[in-house]
Amino acid sequence: MSVDMSATTDARYCTSCPTCGALIPGEDVALMMVGRQRRMFEIVRRAGTVGISARDLISVAYDDDPDGGPASATIVSSTIRAINQKIYLRDLVIRGKRGPHGRYCLFRLR
């Protein structure tokens, strides 16, 4: 299914996929970040309503790191916290579901 991204150019506009309900934020949201933050935001966004585990997020976000990325998942929570400070003004937040099979998902605040 193809989604028309031209409808999401407004800075505060966020649509939802009619099929799965995943949020589709405007392109300006990703432009608020650089480097690993932007990469992690895009990975979580693409994970949709299913979400992504911290372990899988590290694996994908650091796939270009010859050392394999950080040894601890602590970096994920601190990076997500920094991302959330930036996307809060767009009424978005990334939340992690707790537990052994917890997953990070993008949510609308309001």
Of 7, 38, 1, 6, nearest to 20 (Cα)? Answer: 1
Average pLDDT of the chain? 80
pLDDT in tens, 26-61: 777 888 889 999 999 999 998 988 899 988 998 899
Q: What is the pTM of this model?
A: 0.78
Run of H or E residues at 104: strand 104-108
Q: Any idea what the Cα angle at residue 9 is, between residues 5 and 15, rounded to 5°?
A: 60
Of 76, 57, 59, nearest to 68 (Cα)? Answer: 59
**Residue 96 pLDDT more than 90?**
no
Higher pLDDT, 11 or 28: 28
CATH assignment, 5-108: 1.10.10
- Count CA atoms within 13 Å of residue 61 on its CB side: 28
